[in-house]
Amino acid sequence: MIIEPCCIQNQLPQLMQSQKVGCFYSNGDWGAEKLMWATAWLVDGPAMTVLLMRSVDVYFLRYLRQCLQREWTAAIALATTEDCGELVNGELKGYADRVIYTHRGNLCAQGYYRYSENGCMAVCGPLDESRQYCQYWFLNGHQGRFAEVMEGVVPMFMVGVKGKPLHAWCKEIQGFLERRYLAGEP
């Protein structure tokens, strides 16, 4: 199935609810903000958001700040290929305990992951508007598979801790760093 920008809010959630695991395609004409807007509601409650991206700009960071302000997400783990640390720190400075950022020059994967006690979902594929034909894969609600995906993601954020004690982070970041992302875990 090809997901066009005009239809992402309807088609993608329907696909993810009916198939639970699968793939879809796009022409690279929608980005992370549209993806998040279309699918965030699939995981209810105070959710942890994890983003792997090439880069971020001030507009997207302001959208993330809005997500935090309105409590659409409880916390954010963000990794980028391009070093955006100064921009991230500037735009999200009031959320130091709820945002963990790391720069990984060798980051090739891109993805959006969201989880809470009420569920989990992952969409892996390009999150920028590349204007190229792109393939994505997704899973929705498969806790075991979600844990497998996250096992490769969490270690890159350990660098973002930078000597900050674990208790200095909000409980969602603490749980993320301790690999507690399955429903029902303590």
The first and second tokens of residue 113, run together, are: 């992951």
Which helix (H) or strand (E) is 125 found in, with range? none
Closest CA to 55 of 98, 124, 90, 103: 103
Domains along the chain?
Answer: 8-177 (3.30.870.10)
pLDDT tens by residue, 115-129: 998 899 999 999 988
Predicted model pTM:
0.93
Torsion-angle region of residue 141: left (phi > 0), alpha (psi -120 to 50) or beta?
left
pLDDT tens by residue, 56-91: 999 999 999 999 999 999 999 999 999 999 999 999
Distance from C-alpha of 31 to C-alpha of 82, rounded to nearest angstrom: 17
Q: Cβ distance 99 to 78 under 8 Å?
A: yes
Sign of the dihedral through C-alpha 111, 65, 49, 38: negative
